[in-house]
Every structure is written in structure tokens, then in C-alpha cells.
Amino acid sequence: MDSKKDQLLALIAHNPFISQQDLAERLGVSRSAVAGYVAALTKERRILGRAYVLPGAARKLVCIGGSNVDRKLRSVAPLQMGNSNPARLSESPGGVARNVAENLARLGLQVQLLTALGEDAAGHYLRDQAAKTGVDCSASLISPDAPTGSYTAVLSPEGELVLGLAQMDLCERLSPDFLRQCAAQRAEAGLTLMDLNLPAESLAFLMKEAAQASAAPLVAVAVSGPKMARLPQSLQGLSLMILNRDELAAATGLALADDDSAALQRAHEALAARGLQRLIVTQGAGRLYFGEAGQALKSLKPPATSVVEVSGAGDAFAAGVCAALLQAPEDLSGACKLGLRLARLTLRSEHSVSPELSPALLLP
């Protein structure tokens, strides 16, 4: 953009709550000049009043990544490896990006899901479920020649994950070309979340886009330790990454013992050196760590709760973090607290997305 006025409009589109002083410093002009630009843009109806409300600015959350059908096999007795174990079976919609999207929709937020589905019974089921919960997946990739993804979780009688088996090959088709086709939908994002089911070249594509000054914040949510290898060496453009301790170890190559804060800090510094702006490290019932690049990690202790099963709790946490950051981008601590609140509700539910979620959870 050539003019200062257009540059100012781009900064406002990225952060509608930015102050005139911050705008002046970013543009290298006086505050009075900023006031003049704002007045002109308001007169032109390119800004619609307080908080710099832009026409059509929906503050949408865009989630990009995996969708699948979750199959949970919960043993009714202690598991005996190498033997047949009696179990109860349940099926539900799943996938990291899909679960995050449903959590956000249940909070009353506008959500676009960009995912890959087969033209099969499972794909139709997931599309119907998205429509029922208010998730827009109309721009997703629909494949007639490949099955919808599936995830099978083997759970202990206590609901803890013993083994997970994922068939997510269809996500490999979420290529940079597909992302370019969805440029209009992605341009409406106030925040974008991607999961690491995406191909490496697509992760790099999204991060390169996010490194631009006017881009929406980009959040990455891990899927598993092995898929950490998909991240590029440079993490420039990545606003936040949410990992568990094992995934952090895989990303950095560092040995991380349980709740070793010094080792976690070293891992945080290693990722910051690669360009990561913020990091959240979850440890189940253990302390949660979070921090900004160049600063020491802070921590929170998750509240104690009963556990029906663990499936979906991490996705609920990520959704809470994103919902909070959409409202208050600078408050990472508050975002973690909302994430823990949503995760707790999910841990107490037999569903991967708790039916107790509602817009009331976003009220002060």
C-alpha cells in the first residue's frame, strides 16, 4: 500500500483496538496526523465509529486442518496386551481443527472450517454435524476417491488414552493450491488456527502469509510428536504454538523431564530463536507453562477435576485460548485460564466436545 492512509487502514484491520499513539509510532507520523487520517476514513465510510469498526469485519475464526470420525474403545477391565479385551464402543465427530471449530461455534463465535472430507457416509455425517453446530465448512475440499479420516482411541477403564490410531491421509490434499483457492474465506479471519495434520509446504505457506504486517495472528496446534517434523526451521509468522511436553521435546530435540521448568525455558528460548512469538506447553494435570519470546515462562496449575475421559480436552483448551485472544490479544494468561476452563468441562464429559459449552463462558 502506498499512502499512509491505506497503511493506517491495514493496521486497524489487523487490530481494531489499536490506539492512535500506537498508530502514529507504527507509521512514523504525529498523533494529530493519525487523527486526521481517521477522520477522513470515517467520512469516507471506510471506518464506522469507535474501536475502528470496519465494514464487513466479522472477526471470524478460521480453523484449517483435520476432520475425522472418532471411534473410542473403552476397556471395561484393566487392559491385557496381546489378548482380546472387552470394551464399549462409541463414535463421534473428531479431528483437531474440527474439534476446535465446534468448541468455538458452541461459544457463539463465527467459525470457518477448511478441511478435507470424503464423498462417503462419514464425510456426509461430518458435514451434517458441522451444520447443526454452526460451523461453516462450505469451502472445504470434498474428495470422491478417498475415505474421510478416522481416529481410533483405545482407552483404559479410567478414560486415559492407551493407544491412538489415526488415518488422516486425506489431509495431505490440503495443499498450498487449495489454500489459495480459499483466499477469500481466509481473508475474513480475525485469527487463524492450523493443526499439524497439514502438509509441511502448507504450514510454510500459511506462516509466510502470516509474517505480513496486516495478517491475522496465526496459531499452530500440534497433533503428535512425529508430526512436529513438518514445521519449517523458521517459525517467523507464527504468533503462538500450543504443545504438550512430548511434542515440545520433538520440536526442539531436548530431553524434557516432568515439570522441569529450567528445561522448558531452554526449549522456549530455542523456539523463540527460530521466530516463534509465543508458546504454551500443556502437561495434563501438571503445571501449564506459557510465555512470550524473550521472557521467562510463567505457569498455572490446572484446577483438579474428575475425569470421564481425556479425548478432546486439548482441543477444548486450544479453542478457549483462541476465543480469548480474539477478544484480548495481549492477555495470554487470561487466554490460558479460559482454555483450562473449557478443558475441564470436556474432561468431565464423555463427549470430545462438551455439550455444556455456551456463549456465557465468554462473559467477564
CA dihedral 302, 305, 307, 308 (to 10 degrees): -130
State whether 30 and 64 are in the same domain: no
User: What CATH number has the domain bearing residue 188?
Assistant: 3.40.1190.20
Q: For residue 161, list its beta bridge partners.
A: 155
State whether 214 and 355 are in the same domain: yes
Quickly list H helices, the chain: 4-14, 20-27, 31-43, 96-106, 121-133, 176-181, 183-186, 200-210, 245-252, 261-273, 313-327, 332-347
Pairing relationship of beta strands 240-244 and 278-282 according to DSSP bridges: parallel
Write down the pLDDT at residue 50. 45
Q: Which residue has the higher pLDDT, 2 or 250?
A: 250
User: In what order do the strands lie in the sheet containing 278-282?
Assistant: 135-136, 111-114, 60-64, 189-195, 218-221, 240-244, 278-282, 288-292, 298-300
State whether 244 and 113 are in the same domain: yes
State whether 121 and 14 are in the same domain: no
State whether 141 and 17 are in the same domain: no
What cell numbers appear for 297 in the block? 515462562
160 contacts: CB under 8 Å, gap ≥ 6: 307, 309, 310
Task: Mark residue 302 as left, alpha or beta (left: phi above 0; alpha: psi -120 to 50; beta: remaining).
Answer: beta
State whether 177 and 39 are in the same domain: no
State whether 111 and 243 are in the same domain: yes
State whether 41 and 101 are in the same domain: no
Task: Provide, rounded to the nearest whole percent, the portion of the chain with pLDDT above 90.
Answer: 65
pLDDT higher than 60, residue 59 = yes
Write down the pLDDT at residue 56. 46
Task: Provide, rounded to the nearest whole percent, the portion of the chain with pLDDT above 70.
Answer: 94
pLDDT higher than 80, residue 162 = yes
Domain membership of residue 102 as a residue range: 60-68+93-150+170-362
User: What CATH number has the domain bearing residue 16?
Assistant: 1.10.10
pTM: 0.79
Write down the pLDDT at residue 31. 83
State whether 190 and 223 are in the same domain: yes
Write down the pLDDT at residue 2. 57
Count the domains in the chain. 2
Determine the average pLDDT of the residues in 136-153: 93
- 159: in domain: no
State whether 25 and 97 are in the same domain: no
Quickly list H helices, 221-303: 245-252, 261-273
